[in-house]
Amino acid sequence: MKKKLAAALSGGTVLVLALSGCTSDDSGDKVGAWAKTVCDQAQPQIQKRADAQQAIISTAADGKPADIQAADSKAFQDIATANKALAKAVQDAGTPPVDNGKSLQQDAVKELNATAGAYLELKKQVDALEPKNQQKFADGLQDVADGLAKIEKMDQDALSKLQSGELGQAMAKQPSCQKVKPSVTATANPGPGASKPAAKPSNAAGPSKSAGTPKSSGE
């Protein structure tokens, strides 16, 4: 089960990493200005997502079910909030000065908002788990992983078009759109089970290693 969860949840950092995936020569001044506007507003949200993911990993490493539940719930809320803010940043920046700019903007805003809503639904799902029953909790986490696997593609698609072509090239050059590391203070509801951060935070973004899972890790 752990391997299935890890595989399902490993793409949750896509949006954090997505904006630093391109390099290019100089873009036009107007395109660069648009990219700077978006990236400057997006940077705190990119950081919030990274911190939320690290908080989950830190707790999931050896956390108790109740600690994992609390960490996941808060993280999904934080990611949803960040995605809504990212959507607003793209909306407020105005129409990108490129071909089909209006369509690109509208699609990104729509998909980011939809993804935010999906994360809030996952939060509700996590909140309804029964941490005192390890079997039910493990089964519930599997359902969460299945749901998150579907959200991954939404998350990836949300900014994929903005990343392409001239816009992507311009955004990639903005320091505020570069890949971020989790804040050193990012922990999830510190408690008995939130003791050690993951060595590779970019490899997981959800409740991928629930303690006490009664199923085999190789399942």
DSSP code of residue 217: T
pLDDT tens, residue by residue, 53-62 = 888 777 776 7
Q: What is the pLDDT of residue 171?
A: 84
Confidence of residue 169 (pLDDT cuts 50, 70, 90): confident
Q: Does pLDDT of 168 surpass 90?
A: no
Q: What is the pLDDT of residue 202?
A: 32
- CA-CA distance, 184 to 182, in Å (whole number)? 6
- What Å distances lie between residue 89 and 37, 86, 94, 171, 199, CA to CA? 8, 5, 9, 13, 31
Confidence of residue 184 (pLDDT cuts 50, 70, 90): low
- CA-CA distance, 142 to 148, in Å (whole number)? 10
38 vs 182, residue with greater confidence: 38
Residue linked to tokens 């808060």:
74
Confidence of residue 180 (pLDDT cuts 50, 70, 90): low
pLDDT tens, residue by residue, 25-34 = 444 589 999 9
Q: What is the pLDDT of residue 2?
A: 40
pLDDT tens, residue by residue, 69-125 = 998 999 999 999 999 999 999 999 999 998 888 998 998 899 999 999 999 999 999
Q: Does pLDDT of 149 surpass 90?
A: no
Q: What is the pLDDT of residue 91?
A: 94
Q: What is the pLDDT of residue 156?
A: 75
23 vs 87, residue with greater confidence: 87
